[in-house]
Copies of this chain bind each other. A is one copy, B any other.
């Protein structure tokens, strides 16, 4: 059974573990559903509905809800079930502050590994894919492209814990809720990404970290403005 094939093709996802389970299917679909608008923050997730919707029994549904709760996507109150988390603005800012640090760290470490050819290729591909979207482009696919960019960046950082934790920050969920207010256009975001990648490829650690932090700083400032005004 020693299959010597080099690497299993898994170009899309950040998940390292081969989660075959139904549970993961549900988890993924809920997250994707948030991107696509099928689910929306605040919505209640009743076990009965989910069992019907996915055609599975309550066991896997409950497990999926637990996973989603662990990832802070749903709020789980003991006898009252699950509800898709609603971020108020303060929490969104908190999230961005944490993400700012972690992505900054990722960029710094990635720059340190700037001679990793596979990492460079993946990062460049993710950047190109992100650029391919039209300025008014789609919601869910763009979100996935952004995830892939951050995934490639953290992969190049070669820090397992970082790869594990950063997705759990769920930057994209902020987007789902605050898209109208943030209105960062795709072009400027792409410029930010490009700047990060340039610094990373050149091995300039501090510049890479700074560029990553600067990108988040804008969103933070904008949300802070909304909070006070």
Q: Tell yes or no: A63 within 8 A of B by CB.
A: yes
The residues of B that contact A169 with a CB separation of less than 8 Å are: 161, 165
Q: Report if A43 contacts B (CB, 8 A).
A: no
Distance in angstroms between the alpha carbons of A162 and B99 in the assembled complex: 10
Cβ of A227 within 8 Å of any chain B Cβ, yes or no, is no
A197 interfacial by beta-carbon distance below 8 Å: no
> Which of A20, A59, A94 has the most CB atoms of chain B within a 10 A radius of its CB?
A94
A window 24-82: CB within 8 A of B? 59, 62-63, 66-67, 70-72, 76-79
Q: Does A1 contact B (CB under 8 A)?
A: no
**CA–CA, A19 and B10, complex, Å:** 36
How many chain A residues sit at the interface, stated as a range, is 35 or more
Partner of A23, one of B20, B66, B165: B66
Measured CB to CB, the nearest residue on chain B to A19 is B78
Instruction: Compute how far the CA of A17 lies from the CA of B98 in the bound complex, rounded to whole angstroms.
Output: 21
Given the interface pairs A66-B66, A101-B102, the reply to whether A78 lies near B161 with Cβ below 8 Å is no
Given the complex, which residues of B lie within 8 Å of A152, measured CB to CB?
A: none
Interface on A for B, CB 8 Å cutoff? 17-21, 23, 59, 62-63, 66-67, 70-72, 76-79, 90-91, 94-95, 97-98, 101-102, 105, 109, 159-162, 164-165, 168-169
Identify 9 new A-B residue pairs, CB closer than 8 A, beyond the known A19-B78, A62-B63, A165-B168.
A23-B66, A59-B59, A59-B62, A63-B66, A91-B161, A98-B102, A98-B161, A101-B102, A102-B102
